[in-house]
Amino acid sequence: MTQHDMTHPHDAETQGSLKSYTIGFLFSIVLTIIPITAVLYGWAEGMTNTIVLMTAAVLQFVVQLIYFMHLREEKKPRYNLVTLILGLIILLVIVIGSMWIMLFNMVAT
Amino acid sequence: MAQLNDSGHANQHVSSSDHHDHPDMEEMRTFGFWIYLMTDVIIFGTLFAAYIVLQGNRNGGPGPEELFQMGGIIASTFILLTSSYTSGLAVLAMHKGNRQALMGWLGVTALLGATFIVLEVNEFIHLVHEGATISTSAFLSAFFTLVGTHGLHVSIGLVWMIALIIQLAKHGITPVTKRKVNVISLFWHFLDVVWIFVFTIVYLMGVR
């Protein structure tokens, strides 16, 4: 049981491979070209445009996390993932909270 | 068994502090850097929030449509993307124990980072010549603070990377330099992620 787990070299957690890095790189190139063409050729207007652009950006963030930062290969007590989630919660509260109060404030306008 | 539980028992090892295993300590330091990155997420979060809220307040000054030249911005986006990839290749070379390739890829990464900074400084000079300074409007104050903070991070990363290349030339691949390479590649990927959001929210949504 333990033997089986120890077949991996010690620092396998952050190793990755040329293949995984290249896949990640190609993904991020594609995910950059899509929003650029969407904007330059004016595929979508208003809200749809915003959703397309933000989806591409968030997907690219996920690609970087998985293929470049190796978040998925972390060992069991997943402190990195937990602190990342904490950071993202604070980030979303700050950004969405500010937008909600400052841009959609019915009292001020 | 001890190997297996490295990260799990790292806490107890450090708190009892009698014997520190080197791999454990370096792993803890990498995690400490990760926590710093999360605080950086919060800094950029507040700057993004400020930008999104203030971007409509132009004070009669120029807006994003007139100011941003997308050619240079798109070029610097691909440059930074590529440098994120090459810093990954540096880590790969390190795991193979190939010091020459490691230093080479770090050098390429630093060079691409420097190109990015040159393009950004050029853009800022262009903006100031157009009469769009940090004090022109709330939109431009938020813009320069957000983009400038990212550029500052990249510049610090550059200095750090050059120092690391010198250390690698002197000491080779040791547990300490190994951890430093891992940490700086995390930093570099993180800066790339931040730039993706700057590019999307500030530039792409700005010119649209």
- Contact indicator for B88, A21 with CB cutoff of 8 Å: yes
pLDDT at A104: 82
For residues B64-71, give the mean pLDDT.
Answer: 89
Q: What's the gap between Cα A25 and its chain centre? A: 14
Q: How many domains does chain B have?
A: 1
Which tokens is B66 given?
């007139």
Which tokens is B162 given?
């050059």
In a domain, B106, yes or no: yes
* ipTM of this complex prediction, to 2 decimal places: 0.83
Query: A–B: how many Cβ contacts below 8 A?
Result: 132
Residue ranges per structural domain of chain A: 2-75, 76-109
Q: Is the pLDDT of residue A70 over 90?
A: no
Residue B134, amino acid: I
Q: Which domain holds residue B83?
A: 70-208
Percent of chain B with pLDDT over 90: 76
Q: Which residues of A touch B4 (CB under 8 A)?
A: 2, 5-6
Q: What's the gap between Cα A42 and its chain centre? A: 25
Q: How far is it, in rounded angstroms, from Cα B50 to Cα B99?
A: 43
The 10s digit of each residue's pLDDT in B141-171 is: 999 999 999 999 999 999 999 999 999 999 9
In a domain, B159, yes or no: yes
Contact B49 A99 (CB under 8 A): yes
In a domain, B13, yes or no: no
Q: How far is it, in rounded angstroms, from Cα B5 to Cα A6?
A: 11
Around A106, how many Cα atoms within 13 Å sit in the side-chain half-sphere? 0
- Contact indicator for B36, B105 with CB cutoff of 8 Å: no
CATH number at residue B161: 1.20.120.80
Q: How far is it, in rounded angstroms, from Cα B44 to Cα A75?
A: 28
Handedness of CA B197, B191, B143, B45 (dihedral sign): positive
In a domain, B133, yes or no: yes
Which tokens is A58 given?
């968030």
**Radius of gyration, alpha carbons of chain A:** 20
In a domain, B50, yes or no: no
In a domain, B175, yes or no: yes
Q: How far is it, in rounded angstroms, from Cα B175 to Cα B117?
A: 31
Which tokens is A7 given?
């077949």
pLDDT at A46: 80
Contact B204 A39 (CB under 8 A): yes
Q: How far is it, in rounded angstroms, from Cα A68 to Cα B196?
A: 15
3-state helix, strand, coil in chain B (%, to 5): 85, 0, 15
The 10s digit of each residue's pLDDT in B166-191 is: 999 999 999 999 999 999 999 999 99
Which tokens is B85 given?
């990839």
pLDDT at A108: 59
In a domain, B6, yes or no: no
Which tokens is B21 given?
């295993």
* B 170-189 near A (Cβ less than 8 A): 182, 185-186, 189
DSSP code, position B200: I
pLDDT at A109: 55
In a domain, B201, yes or no: yes
